[in-house]
Amino acid sequence: MNWFYFSSPSTFYGLAGRLAPWFFILAAVLAAFGLYLGLGVAPTDAQQGAVYRVIFIHVPTAWMSMFLYFIMACYCGLTLVFNTRLSAMMARAIAPTGALFTFVALWTGAFWGRPTWGTYWVWDARLTSELVLLFLYFGYMALANAFEDPRRGDRAAALLALIGVVNLPIIYFSVQWWNTLHQGSSVSFKGTSMHVTMLTGMLVMSFAAWMYAIGATLMRVRSVILERERRAQWARNVEAA
C-alpha cells in the first residue's frame, strides 16, 4: 500500500472527513461509560470526599495536554526535516485542542484544590509548568499566524514548539524533583494504589479524551487544508456539506 498517498492535503482531506465522526462516536461512548463509572459507581474517597471525582476530568485532560503537545512537536519535527505541508497543517490543527485541554486541566485542578488544599492556586512546580504549557500553546498559535507567508509561520512555529518540548519532562517529573503541594503520581506501570473502579474510570475517560482530541484535530485540519489550498482545483470542487 502506498503510505504516502494520504500525505497530500487533498487526499487527506477526504480521509479525515470519513474518520472524524468515528472518533467522536467512540469518544462519546467511552465518556458515557467512564462517567458512569466515575460519577456513579466509584465509591467516595475517604479523605477527600466526593470532590475527588474531579479526577476523572482533571487527569485525562492533563495527560492529553502534555501528549498533544508532544504529538504536535513530532509533526513540527517532520515539518522542519521533510518540509511537508500536511505535517505543519496537522500541528496547527492540534494546537487549539491542546490549549483547551490545558485550560480545562488547570481549571479543574483549581476547583479540586480549593476544598482539598484550601486554595485555587499555588505557584508550585507542576501547576506553574502546566501554566507555562498553556502559554507555549498560545505562543505557537500566535507565531504561526504572525506572518503573511503561511509557510514561514509553519516553520518558525515548528522550531518554537520543539524548543518548548523541554517543558514536558519538567511538568511530568516536577512532582518527583520538588517537594510540591501537588500529589505525586498514583498510577505507574508497576501498579497503582487506586480503587479499581476509580482507576478504570480514569483510564476510560483518558481514552475518551484521546479519541475526542483526534476527532477534533481531524475536523480542524480539514478547515486548515481548505484555507491553505483554496486556490487549488480540487478545493474549488469541494461541496459545502
Residue 183 binds other proteins (CB under 8 A): no
Considering only residues 41, 119, 184, 195, which one is a binding residue for other proteins as defined by CB under 8 A? 41
Residue 79 binds other proteins (CB under 8 A): no
* Sign of CA pseudo-dihedral 195, 24, 59, 188: positive
Q: How many Å apart are CA 218 and CA 72, to the nearest integer?
A: 13
DSSP 192: E
Residue 42 binds other proteins (CB under 8 A): yes
Residue 61 binds other proteins (CB under 8 A): yes
What type of residue is 122? V
Q: How many Å apart are CA 85 and CA 89, to the nearest integer?
A: 6
Q: Kindly state the smallest distance separating residue 39's Cβ from other proteins, in Å.
A: 7
The site string for other proteins over 6-35 (x = CB under 8 A, - otherwise) reads: ------------------------------
Cβ(99)–Cβ(62) below 8 Å: no
Cα dihedral 203, 97, 129, 56 in deg (nearest 10): -30
Rg value, the chain, Cα: 20
Q: How many Å apart are CA 56 and CA 32, to the nearest integer?
A: 12
Binding site for other proteins (CB under 8 A): 37, 39-44, 49-51, 53-54, 57-58, 61, 80, 96-97, 100, 103-104, 107-108, 111-112, 114-115, 125, 128-129, 132, 135-136, 138-139, 142-143, 146-147, 152, 155-157, 159-160, 162-164, 166-167, 170, 197, 212, 216, 219-220, 222-223, 226-227, 230-231, 235-236, 238, 240
